[in-house]
Amino acid sequence: MRTTALIAAALALGSLGVTSNVPAQGLDLEALRWKHRPLLLFAPSPAAPLAQKLREGLKAAAAEVVDRDMVVIEVYGERLASLDGEELPPGTAEALQRRLGVAEGASVVVLLGKDGGEKLRTHSADLGAVFALIDTMPMRRREMAVGGGGAAPR
């Protein structure tokens, strides 16, 4: 059944190759806590090399992203932000940059854990390193022990 769910998720990919049940009617990072691991991509534009490489990697690794309960937030400049391919309201991009201390025009990837804490800040699109880091986290280890992704016991 888990494999079927992963295949269904992979087939239902949005523009990033990831889907979620998180509504894209604004973004409250606190609402994601204990449910998802946000991966935030900050870049000057969707054409930036880091953005292109990361999006390609996310499409190729969609099942792994879903299995790790990740959501992808893209922030381009101060005006454009999206959650799993769905555009977020005006002001979201600037608020995320301010909250995470990312300078306008910077190209950076930030991983937040389910606990809401920053786990990684990098200029690399290496998803293998991101997945490896997630897999060392205590909450993820518990998830794997009980059969994969999904909300961890609290």
Query: What's 138's domain CATH number?
Result: 3.40.30.10
Quick: pLDDT tens for 66-109: 999 999 999 998 888 999 889 999 889 999 999 999 998 999 99
In a domain, 1, yes or no: no
In a domain, 95, yes or no: yes
Rounded CA-CA distance 94/91 in Å is: 5
In a domain, 135, yes or no: yes
In a domain, 7, yes or no: no
The model's pTM is 0.79
**What HEC string does 92-150 produce?**
HHHHHHHHHCCCCCCCEEEEECCCCCEEEEECCCCHHHHHHHHHHCHHHHHHHHCCCCC
Structural domain including 110 reads 32-145
What is the maximum alpha-carbon separation in the chain? 43
Which residue has better confidence, 25 or 91? 91
**What pLDDT band is residue 50 in, cutting at 50, 70 and 90?**
very high
Q: 72 in the Ramachandran plot: left (φ > 0), alpha (ψ -120 to 50) or beta?
A: beta
In a domain, 14, yes or no: no
| Total structural domains within the chain | 1
pLDDT at res. 152: 40
Rounded CA-CA distance 25/109 in Å is: 23
Element (H, E) at 65: helix 62-67
Rounded CA-CA distance 27/92 in Å is: 7
In a domain, 9, yes or no: no
In a domain, 36, yes or no: yes
Which residue has better confidence, 79 or 13? 79
In a domain, 61, yes or no: yes
Range picked from 3-7, 20-24, 60-64, 147-151 for highest mean pLDDT: 60-64
Rounded CA-CA distance 64/39 in Å is: 13
